[in-house]
Structure 1
Protein backbone atom coordinates (compact mmCIF):
# COMPACT_ATOMS: atom_id res chain seq x y z
CA UNK A 1 0.00 0.00 0.00
CA UNK A 2 1.31 3.45 -0.88
CA UNK A 3 2.12 5.79 1.96
CA UNK A 4 -0.54 8.39 2.72
CA UNK A 5 1.29 11.69 2.54
CA UNK A 6 -0.18 15.12 1.98
CA UNK A 7 0.45 16.51 -1.53
CA UNK A 8 3.19 19.08 -1.81
CA UNK A 9 2.75 22.60 -3.15
CA UNK A 10 4.14 21.34 -6.48
CA UNK A 11 0.91 19.35 -6.96
CA UNK A 12 -1.46 22.29 -6.72
CA UNK A 13 -2.44 24.78 -9.39
CA UNK A 14 -2.58 24.35 -13.18
CA UNK A 15 1.13 23.52 -13.66
CA UNK A 16 3.70 21.08 -12.32
CA UNK A 17 7.49 21.42 -12.01
CA UNK A 18 9.81 18.85 -13.59
CA UNK A 19 12.38 17.65 -11.05
CA UNK A 20 14.98 17.32 -13.82
CA UNK A 21 14.68 20.54 -15.80
CA UNK A 22 12.85 22.63 -13.15
CA UNK A 23 10.56 23.89 -15.91
CA UNK A 24 6.81 24.10 -15.40
CA UNK A 25 4.14 22.53 -17.57
CA UNK A 26 0.58 21.17 -17.53
CA UNK A 27 0.02 17.77 -15.87
CA UNK A 28 -0.86 16.27 -19.25
CA UNK A 29 2.72 16.88 -20.41
CA UNK A 30 4.25 15.24 -17.33
CA UNK A 31 4.64 11.84 -15.70
CA UNK A 32 3.81 11.67 -12.00
CA UNK A 33 5.72 9.39 -9.61
CA UNK A 34 5.02 8.26 -6.06
CA UNK A 35 6.92 6.11 -3.57
CA UNK A 36 5.66 2.54 -3.27
CA UNK A 37 6.45 -0.34 -0.90
CA UNK A 38 10.14 -0.74 -0.19
CA UNK A 39 10.71 2.92 -1.14
CA UNK A 40 10.52 2.00 -4.83
CA UNK A 41 9.69 4.79 -7.29
CA UNK A 42 6.35 4.00 -8.95
CA UNK A 43 5.07 5.75 -12.10
CA UNK A 44 1.52 7.03 -11.70
CA UNK A 45 0.39 7.09 -15.33
CA UNK A 46 -3.21 8.03 -14.50
CA UNK A 47 -2.07 10.58 -11.89
CA UNK A 48 -4.44 9.20 -9.26
CA UNK A 49 -2.30 7.22 -6.80
CA UNK A 50 -2.26 8.45 -3.18
CA UNK A 51 0.79 9.97 -1.61
CA UNK A 52 3.14 12.82 -2.33
CA UNK A 53 4.13 12.94 -5.98
CA UNK A 54 6.97 14.35 -8.02
CA UNK A 55 6.83 15.12 -11.72
CA UNK A 56 9.09 14.61 -14.73
CA UNK A 57 8.53 15.94 -18.23
CA UNK A 58 6.93 13.22 -20.38
CA UNK A 59 10.14 12.21 -22.14
CA UNK A 60 12.00 8.92 -21.96
CA UNK A 61 15.26 10.84 -22.02
CA UNK A 62 14.21 13.01 -19.06
CA UNK A 63 13.13 9.99 -17.02
CA UNK A 64 16.46 8.28 -17.74
CA UNK A 65 18.21 11.46 -16.66
CA UNK A 66 16.18 11.55 -13.44
CA UNK A 67 17.29 8.00 -12.63
CA UNK A 68 20.94 8.68 -13.48
CA UNK A 69 21.13 11.95 -11.54
CA UNK A 70 19.18 10.59 -8.54
CA UNK A 71 16.64 13.36 -8.98
CA UNK A 72 13.92 11.22 -7.39
CA UNK A 73 15.79 11.12 -4.08
CA UNK A 74 16.05 14.90 -4.10
CA UNK A 75 12.42 15.30 -5.12
CA UNK A 76 11.09 12.99 -2.40
CA UNK A 77 13.71 14.21 0.10
CA UNK A 78 14.58 10.65 1.03
CA UNK A 79 16.49 7.66 -0.30
CA UNK A 80 14.41 5.83 -2.91
CA UNK A 81 14.98 3.06 -5.43
CA UNK A 82 14.59 3.98 -9.10
CA UNK A 83 15.22 1.12 -11.52
CA UNK A 84 17.35 1.65 -14.62
CA UNK A 85 14.49 -0.05 -16.48
CA UNK A 86 12.04 2.66 -15.39
CA UNK A 87 12.09 4.56 -18.74
CA UNK A 88 11.20 1.42 -20.70
CA UNK A 89 8.57 0.40 -18.14
CA UNK A 90 6.86 3.76 -18.53
CA UNK A 91 6.85 3.49 -22.33
CA UNK A 92 5.12 0.12 -22.00
CA UNK A 93 2.59 1.54 -19.51
CA UNK A 94 1.81 4.53 -21.74
CA UNK A 95 1.36 2.24 -24.74
CA UNK A 96 -0.98 -0.01 -22.79
CA UNK A 97 -2.90 3.03 -21.54
CA UNK A 98 -3.41 4.21 -25.13
CA UNK A 99 -4.59 0.81 -26.31
CA UNK A 100 -7.00 0.51 -23.39
CA UNK A 101 -8.43 3.91 -24.33
CA UNK A 102 -8.75 2.72 -27.93
CA UNK A 103 -10.64 -0.36 -26.73
CA UNK A 104 -13.00 1.85 -24.71
CA UNK A 105 -13.61 4.06 -27.75
CA UNK A 106 -14.39 0.93 -29.76
CA UNK A 107 -16.91 -0.27 -27.16
CA UNK A 108 -18.47 3.20 -27.23
CA UNK A 109 -19.07 2.79 -30.96
CA UNK A 110 -16.56 5.48 -31.90
CA UNK A 111 -14.26 3.26 -34.02
CA UNK A 112 -14.70 1.82 -37.49
CA UNK A 113 -12.02 -0.37 -39.06
CA UNK A 114 -11.18 -1.43 -42.59
CA UNK A 115 -10.20 0.70 -45.57
CA UNK A 116 -13.70 0.80 -47.09
CA UNK A 117 -15.46 1.61 -43.82
CA UNK A 118 -12.93 4.33 -43.04
CA UNK A 119 -13.59 5.91 -46.44
CA UNK A 120 -17.34 5.80 -45.72
CA UNK A 121 -16.77 7.45 -42.34
CA UNK A 122 -14.75 10.22 -43.99
CA UNK A 123 -17.60 10.79 -46.42
CA UNK A 124 -19.99 10.97 -43.47
CA UNK A 125 -17.90 13.77 -42.01
CA UNK A 126 -17.84 12.91 -38.29
CA UNK A 127 -14.14 12.01 -38.17
CA UNK A 128 -11.98 12.84 -35.14
CA UNK A 129 -8.86 11.19 -36.54
CA UNK A 130 -7.37 8.20 -38.35
CA UNK A 131 -5.36 5.27 -37.02
CA UNK A 132 -2.89 3.38 -39.20
CA UNK A 133 -0.82 0.34 -38.24
CA UNK A 134 2.83 1.38 -37.94
CA UNK A 135 3.84 -1.78 -39.80
CA UNK A 136 1.24 -1.31 -42.54
CA UNK A 137 1.92 -0.01 -46.02
CA UNK A 138 2.09 3.74 -46.57
CA UNK A 139 -0.05 3.63 -49.72
CA UNK A 140 -3.36 3.07 -47.94
CA UNK A 141 -2.63 5.81 -45.42
CA UNK A 142 -1.76 8.18 -48.26
CA UNK A 143 -5.01 7.43 -50.09
CA UNK A 144 -7.08 7.99 -46.96
CA UNK A 145 -5.26 11.27 -46.40
CA UNK A 146 -6.28 12.29 -49.91
CA UNK A 147 -9.88 11.34 -49.10
CA UNK A 148 -9.74 13.60 -46.05
CA UNK A 149 -8.54 16.52 -48.13
CA UNK A 150 -11.23 15.97 -50.75
CA UNK A 151 -13.91 15.85 -48.07
CA UNK A 152 -12.76 18.66 -45.77
CA UNK A 153 -10.50 20.76 -47.97
CA UNK A 154 -6.80 21.53 -47.88
CA UNK A 155 -7.12 23.16 -44.46
CA UNK A 156 -8.53 20.02 -42.83
CA UNK A 157 -6.95 19.22 -39.47
CA UNK A 158 -7.35 15.62 -38.32
CA UNK A 159 -4.81 13.65 -36.26
CA UNK A 160 -3.35 10.63 -38.02
CA UNK A 161 -1.81 8.06 -35.71
CA UNK A 162 0.66 5.28 -36.50
CA UNK A 163 2.08 4.54 -33.07
CA UNK A 164 0.98 0.90 -32.81
CA UNK A 165 1.61 -2.33 -34.68
CA UNK A 166 -1.21 -4.19 -36.39
CA UNK A 167 -1.20 -6.98 -33.78
CA UNK A 168 -1.62 -4.39 -31.01
CA UNK A 169 -4.57 -2.84 -32.84
CA UNK A 170 -6.04 -6.32 -33.34
CA UNK A 171 -6.04 -6.98 -29.59
CA UNK A 172 -7.43 -3.57 -28.70
CA UNK A 173 -10.27 -3.76 -31.22
CA UNK A 174 -10.99 -7.47 -30.96
CA UNK A 175 -10.61 -8.18 -34.67
CA UNK A 176 -7.93 -9.46 -37.03
CA UNK A 177 -5.63 -7.66 -39.46
CA UNK A 178 -6.44 -4.07 -38.49
CA UNK A 179 -4.43 -1.73 -40.71
CA UNK A 180 -6.68 1.33 -40.91
CA UNK A 181 -9.32 2.65 -38.52
CA UNK A 182 -11.25 5.87 -38.09
CA UNK A 183 -12.04 7.65 -34.84
CA UNK A 184 -15.57 9.00 -34.82
CA UNK A 185 -16.28 12.20 -32.92
CA UNK A 186 -16.89 11.67 -29.22
CA UNK A 187 -15.37 11.92 -25.76
CA UNK A 188 -13.85 8.42 -25.87
CA UNK A 189 -12.01 9.24 -29.11
CA UNK A 190 -10.73 12.49 -27.62
CA UNK A 191 -9.46 10.63 -24.54
CA UNK A 192 -7.58 8.21 -26.80
CA UNK A 193 -6.02 11.07 -28.79
CA UNK A 194 -4.87 12.81 -25.60
CA UNK A 195 -3.10 9.64 -24.46
CA UNK A 196 -1.48 9.25 -27.88
CA UNK A 197 -0.09 12.77 -27.73
CA UNK A 198 1.61 11.99 -24.42
CA UNK A 199 3.01 8.70 -25.74
CA UNK A 200 4.44 10.42 -28.81
CA UNK A 201 5.95 13.12 -26.60
CA UNK A 202 7.52 10.44 -24.40
CA UNK A 203 9.15 8.34 -27.10
CA UNK A 204 12.64 9.35 -28.26
CA UNK A 205 12.72 10.79 -31.77
CA UNK A 206 14.86 7.87 -32.92
CA UNK A 207 12.10 5.42 -31.98
CA UNK A 208 9.19 7.33 -33.50
CA UNK A 209 7.72 6.03 -36.76
CA UNK A 210 9.20 7.47 -39.94
CA UNK A 211 7.37 10.48 -41.46
CA UNK A 212 6.07 8.18 -44.20
CA UNK A 213 4.43 6.11 -41.46
CA UNK A 214 2.76 9.27 -40.16
CA UNK A 215 3.42 8.86 -36.43
CA UNK A 216 1.02 11.30 -34.80
CA UNK A 217 0.46 14.31 -36.99
CA UNK A 218 -2.25 16.74 -37.96
CA UNK A 219 -3.69 16.26 -41.42
CA UNK A 220 -3.47 19.77 -42.77
CA UNK A 221 -1.79 19.10 -46.09
Structure 2
Protein backbone atom coordinates (compact mmCIF):
# COMPACT_ATOMS: atom_id res chain seq x y z
CA UNK A 1 0.00 0.00 0.00
CA UNK A 2 1.31 3.38 -0.96
CA UNK A 3 0.89 5.81 1.90
CA UNK A 4 0.03 9.36 0.98
CA UNK A 5 2.08 12.10 2.64
CA UNK A 6 -1.07 14.00 3.52
CA UNK A 7 -2.43 11.10 5.55
CA UNK A 8 -0.54 11.83 8.73
CA UNK A 9 -1.96 12.76 12.12
CA UNK A 10 -3.06 16.42 12.17
CA UNK A 11 -1.87 17.38 8.67
CA UNK A 12 -1.39 21.13 8.16
CA UNK A 13 -4.33 21.53 5.77
CA UNK A 14 -6.74 19.65 7.99
CA UNK A 15 -5.47 21.45 11.09
CA UNK A 16 -5.99 24.83 9.41
CA UNK A 17 -9.53 23.86 8.40
CA UNK A 18 -10.20 22.76 11.98
CA UNK A 19 -8.98 26.08 13.41
CA UNK A 20 -11.18 28.06 11.02
CA UNK A 21 -14.26 26.07 11.93
CA UNK A 22 -13.61 25.82 15.66
CA UNK A 23 -14.38 29.42 16.73
CA UNK A 24 -17.33 29.20 19.06
CA UNK A 25 -20.65 31.04 19.22
CA UNK A 26 -23.42 30.82 21.79
CA UNK A 27 -26.72 29.16 20.90
CA UNK A 28 -29.62 31.50 21.73
CA UNK A 29 -31.86 28.51 22.51
CA UNK A 30 -29.64 26.75 25.05
CA UNK A 31 -27.16 29.43 26.11
CA UNK A 32 -24.33 26.98 25.47
CA UNK A 33 -21.27 27.72 23.34
CA UNK A 34 -20.42 25.43 20.43
CA UNK A 35 -18.18 25.48 17.33
CA UNK A 36 -19.66 27.46 14.46
CA UNK A 37 -19.65 24.33 12.31
CA UNK A 38 -22.31 22.88 14.63
CA UNK A 39 -24.52 25.98 14.58
CA UNK A 40 -26.72 27.87 12.13
CA UNK A 41 -26.64 31.66 11.91
CA UNK A 42 -29.94 33.47 11.51
CA UNK A 43 -30.05 37.07 10.32
CA UNK A 44 -32.55 39.73 9.29
CA UNK A 45 -33.04 40.37 5.60
CA UNK A 46 -33.73 43.81 4.11
CA UNK A 47 -37.46 43.13 4.56
CA UNK A 48 -37.01 42.41 8.25
CA UNK A 49 -37.67 38.69 7.87
CA UNK A 50 -35.58 36.09 9.67
CA UNK A 51 -33.71 33.63 7.46
CA UNK A 52 -30.64 31.42 7.61
CA UNK A 53 -27.40 33.25 6.80
CA UNK A 54 -25.18 30.60 5.22
CA UNK A 55 -22.48 33.12 4.32
CA UNK A 56 -22.30 34.12 8.01
CA UNK A 57 -21.51 37.61 6.78
CA UNK A 58 -24.82 39.44 6.53
CA UNK A 59 -24.71 42.80 8.34
CA UNK A 60 -26.29 43.36 11.69
CA UNK A 61 -26.56 41.15 14.71
CA UNK A 62 -26.88 37.46 14.11
CA UNK A 63 -28.64 34.78 16.12
CA UNK A 64 -26.91 31.41 16.35
CA UNK A 65 -28.95 28.25 16.92
CA UNK A 66 -27.91 24.63 17.40
CA UNK A 67 -28.46 22.29 14.46
CA UNK A 68 -31.05 20.44 16.52
CA UNK A 69 -34.52 20.24 15.00
CA UNK A 70 -36.24 18.80 18.06
CA UNK A 71 -34.86 21.65 20.19
CA UNK A 72 -35.91 24.26 17.63
CA UNK A 73 -39.45 22.87 17.34
CA UNK A 74 -39.78 22.59 21.11
CA UNK A 75 -38.79 26.23 21.67
CA UNK A 76 -41.06 27.40 18.84
CA UNK A 77 -43.99 25.35 20.14
CA UNK A 78 -43.67 26.94 23.60
CA UNK A 79 -43.72 30.43 22.07
CA UNK A 80 -40.16 31.21 23.18
CA UNK A 81 -38.57 31.62 19.75
CA UNK A 82 -39.58 35.24 19.17
CA UNK A 83 -38.22 36.30 22.56
CA UNK A 84 -34.91 34.55 21.98
CA UNK A 85 -34.56 36.16 18.56
CA UNK A 86 -35.53 39.59 19.89
CA UNK A 87 -32.82 39.40 22.54
CA UNK A 88 -30.22 38.29 19.98
CA UNK A 89 -31.15 40.92 17.38
CA UNK A 90 -31.85 43.57 20.04
CA UNK A 91 -34.95 44.40 18.02
CA UNK A 92 -38.66 43.63 18.02
CA UNK A 93 -39.60 44.74 14.51
CA UNK A 94 -39.02 41.55 12.60
CA UNK A 95 -41.02 38.65 11.22
CA UNK A 96 -40.31 34.98 10.72
CA UNK A 97 -42.28 32.46 8.70
CA UNK A 98 -44.28 29.77 10.45
CA UNK A 99 -42.33 27.17 8.48
CA UNK A 100 -38.89 28.58 9.32
CA UNK A 101 -37.70 25.18 10.56
CA UNK A 102 -38.69 23.49 7.31
CA UNK A 103 -37.05 26.24 5.25
CA UNK A 104 -33.80 25.77 7.16
CA UNK A 105 -33.96 22.00 6.68
CA UNK A 106 -34.54 22.27 2.93
CA UNK A 107 -31.76 24.87 2.64
CA UNK A 108 -29.37 22.53 4.45
CA UNK A 109 -30.17 19.80 1.94
CA UNK A 110 -29.63 22.16 -0.99
CA UNK A 111 -26.40 23.39 0.54
CA UNK A 112 -25.03 19.87 0.93
CA UNK A 113 -25.88 18.91 -2.65
CA UNK A 114 -24.35 22.14 -3.93
CA UNK A 115 -21.24 21.56 -1.82
CA UNK A 116 -20.76 18.07 -3.25
CA UNK A 117 -21.11 19.44 -6.78
CA UNK A 118 -18.52 22.13 -6.10
CA UNK A 119 -16.05 19.65 -4.61
CA UNK A 120 -16.48 17.41 -7.65
CA UNK A 121 -15.74 20.30 -10.01
CA UNK A 122 -12.71 21.21 -7.89
CA UNK A 123 -11.36 17.68 -8.29
CA UNK A 124 -11.73 16.82 -4.59
CA UNK A 125 -14.51 14.24 -4.96
CA UNK A 126 -14.35 10.90 -6.75
CA UNK A 127 -17.34 8.71 -7.63
CA UNK A 128 -17.71 4.96 -8.05
CA UNK A 129 -16.89 1.96 -5.91
CA UNK A 130 -13.78 0.96 -7.83
CA UNK A 131 -12.35 4.48 -7.88
CA UNK A 132 -12.95 4.77 -4.13
CA UNK A 133 -11.20 1.45 -3.56
CA UNK A 134 -8.19 2.55 -5.63
CA UNK A 135 -7.94 5.85 -3.76
CA UNK A 136 -8.19 4.03 -0.42
CA UNK A 137 -5.39 1.66 -1.42
CA UNK A 138 -3.27 4.69 -2.35
CA UNK A 139 -3.97 6.36 1.00
CA UNK A 140 -5.72 9.35 -0.57
CA UNK A 141 -9.16 9.25 1.06
CA UNK A 142 -10.39 11.39 3.96
CA UNK A 143 -14.12 10.73 3.81
CA UNK A 144 -16.22 7.93 2.30
CA UNK A 145 -19.83 8.65 1.32
CA UNK A 146 -22.76 6.43 0.36
CA UNK A 147 -26.18 7.28 -1.04
CA UNK A 148 -29.01 6.65 1.41
CA UNK A 149 -30.29 3.71 -0.63
CA UNK A 150 -26.89 2.11 -1.25
CA UNK A 151 -26.85 -1.65 -0.74
CA UNK A 152 -25.56 -2.44 2.77
CA UNK A 153 -23.04 -5.02 1.57
CA UNK A 154 -21.26 -2.62 -0.80
CA UNK A 155 -21.24 0.22 1.73
CA UNK A 156 -20.05 -2.08 4.52
CA UNK A 157 -17.14 -3.38 2.42
CA UNK A 158 -15.91 0.13 1.63
CA UNK A 159 -16.36 1.26 5.22
CA UNK A 160 -14.41 -1.75 6.47
CA UNK A 161 -11.63 -1.00 4.03
CA UNK A 162 -11.60 2.66 5.11
CA UNK A 163 -11.27 1.64 8.78
CA UNK A 164 -8.46 -0.79 7.98
CA UNK A 165 -6.55 1.76 5.92
CA UNK A 166 -7.06 4.41 8.58
CA UNK A 167 -5.75 2.12 11.30
CA UNK A 168 -2.68 1.25 9.24
CA UNK A 169 -1.92 4.94 8.69
CA UNK A 170 -2.89 6.14 12.16
CA UNK A 171 -5.70 8.42 10.96
CA UNK A 172 -9.48 8.45 11.06
CA UNK A 173 -11.13 8.10 7.65
CA UNK A 174 -14.74 9.10 8.24
CA UNK A 175 -17.66 7.27 6.65
CA UNK A 176 -21.16 8.63 6.20
CA UNK A 177 -24.38 7.31 4.69
CA UNK A 178 -26.09 10.36 3.24
CA UNK A 179 -29.81 10.96 3.82
CA UNK A 180 -30.04 11.38 0.03
CA UNK A 181 -31.20 8.68 -2.44
CA UNK A 182 -28.95 7.86 -5.38
CA UNK A 183 -31.19 9.64 -7.89
CA UNK A 184 -30.87 13.00 -6.12
CA UNK A 185 -27.15 12.46 -5.53
CA UNK A 186 -26.62 11.54 -9.19
CA UNK A 187 -28.47 14.66 -10.33
CA UNK A 188 -26.39 16.89 -8.04
CA UNK A 189 -23.13 15.37 -9.26
CA UNK A 190 -24.07 15.12 -12.92
CA UNK A 191 -23.32 11.42 -12.93
CA UNK A 192 -25.55 8.40 -13.51
CA UNK A 193 -25.99 5.99 -10.61
CA UNK A 194 -23.80 7.83 -8.10
CA UNK A 195 -23.89 5.52 -5.09
CA UNK A 196 -20.42 5.63 -3.52
CA UNK A 197 -18.04 8.60 -3.40
CA UNK A 198 -15.01 9.84 -1.48
CA UNK A 199 -13.27 13.10 -0.64
CA UNK A 200 -9.54 13.16 -1.33
CA UNK A 201 -8.73 16.54 0.22
CA UNK A 202 -8.77 17.05 4.01
CA UNK A 203 -10.19 20.58 3.96
CA UNK A 204 -12.90 19.51 1.49
CA UNK A 205 -13.76 16.55 3.71
CA UNK A 206 -14.10 18.87 6.72
CA UNK A 207 -16.44 21.17 4.79
CA UNK A 208 -18.64 18.31 3.63
CA UNK A 209 -18.73 16.70 7.08
CA UNK A 210 -19.88 19.97 8.63
CA UNK A 211 -22.73 20.26 6.13
CA UNK A 212 -23.71 16.61 6.57
CA UNK A 213 -23.76 16.78 10.36
CA UNK A 214 -25.74 20.03 10.45
CA UNK A 215 -28.36 18.66 8.10
CA UNK A 216 -28.54 15.33 9.92
CA UNK A 217 -29.10 17.22 13.18
CA UNK A 218 -31.79 19.48 11.78
CA UNK A 219 -33.72 17.11 9.50
CA UNK A 220 -36.92 15.65 10.87
CA UNK A 221 -36.54 11.86 11.22
CA UNK A 222 -39.42 11.03 8.90
CA UNK A 223 -37.85 13.20 6.20
CA UNK A 224 -34.36 11.70 6.24
CA UNK A 225 -35.00 9.43 3.24
CA UNK A 226 -35.32 12.49 1.03
CA UNK A 227 -38.72 11.42 -0.35
CA UNK A 228 -40.90 14.19 1.09
CA UNK A 229 -38.19 16.81 0.99
CA UNK A 230 -37.68 16.12 -2.69
CA UNK A 231 -41.01 17.76 -3.51
CA UNK A 232 -40.11 21.04 -1.84
CA UNK A 233 -36.61 20.79 -3.24
CA UNK A 234 -37.92 20.52 -6.79
CA UNK A 235 -40.30 23.42 -6.21
CA UNK A 236 -37.45 25.79 -5.35
CA UNK A 237 -36.74 26.37 -9.04
CA UNK A 238 -32.98 26.02 -9.27
CA UNK A 239 -32.25 26.67 -5.61
CA UNK A 240 -29.34 24.23 -5.73
CA UNK A 241 -27.68 26.42 -8.35
CA UNK A 242 -28.29 29.45 -6.14
CA UNK A 243 -26.73 27.62 -3.20
CA UNK A 244 -23.73 26.69 -5.34
CA UNK A 245 -23.25 30.32 -6.37
CA UNK A 246 -23.38 31.40 -2.73
CA UNK A 247 -20.81 28.78 -1.74
CA UNK A 248 -18.48 29.87 -4.53
CA UNK A 249 -18.72 33.52 -3.43
CA UNK A 250 -17.89 32.64 0.16
Q: Which residue of 2 aligns with 1:116?
A: 130
CA contact (8 A) 2:166 2:173 kept: no
Q: What's the counterpart of residue 6 of structure 1?
A: none
**SS of the counterpart of 1:192?**
helix
1:76-95 equivalence runs, <5 A: 76=89, 77-95=91-109
The answer to whether the aligner puts 1:57 opposite 2:78 as a matched pair is: no
Question: Would the aligned equivalents of 2:126 and 2:198 in 1 still touch at CA under 8 Å?
Answer: yes
Aligned length: 197
2:53 to 39, 44, 50: 44
- The gaps in structure 1 that reach 5 residues or longer are 1-13, 210-221
How far is the alpha carbon of 1:97 from its aligned partner? Answer: 1.3
Do the aligned partners of residues 17 and 147 (structure 1) sit closer, same or farther apart at CA in structure 2, a change above 3 Å counting?
Answer: closer
- Which has the bigger relative contact order, CA under 8 A and spacing at least 6? 2
Structure 2's unaligned 5+ residue stretches are 1-22, 226-250
Q: Deviations over 1:63-94 (max 9, x none)?
A: 33444422323433314222221111111111
Map Cα deviations across residues 93-146 of structure 1 (whole Å, 9 max, x no partner): 111111222111111212221111111111111101111000121111011122
Instruction: Decide whether aligned partners of structure 1 residues 55 and 94 sit closer, same or farther in structure 2, where only a CA change above 3 A counts.
Output: same
- Does residue 169 (structure 1) correspond to residue 182 (structure 2)? The answer is no
* Aligned 8 A contact 2:144 2:162 in 1: no
| 8 Å Cα contact 1:108-1:188 kept in structure 2 | no
Please tell me whether the aligned partners of residues 110 and 186 of structure 1 are also in contact (alpha carbons under 8 angstroms): no
Q: TM-score, normalised by structure 1?
A: 0.78
- TM-score under structure 2 normalisation? 0.70
- Is 1:190 the equivalent of 2:203? no
Q: Secondary structure at the match of 1:39?
A: coil
Is structure 2 residue 175 aligned with structure 1 residue 160? yes
1:143 match = 157
Higher mean alpha-carbon deviation, 139-148 vs 198-207, is at: 198-207
The residue matched to 2:114 in structure 1 has which SS?
helix
* Distance in 1 of aligned mates of 2:101 and 2:159: 33
Cα displacement string for residues 167-206 of structure 1 (whole angstroms, at most 9, x for unaligned residues): 2221222111111111112433332222222222333566
On the 8 A contact 2:143/2:198 being kept in 1, the answer is yes
In the TM superposition, 1:190-209 aligns within 5 A as 190-204=206-220
Tell me which residue corresponds to 1:214: none
Q: RMSD across aligned C-alpha pairs, in angstroms?
A: 2.4
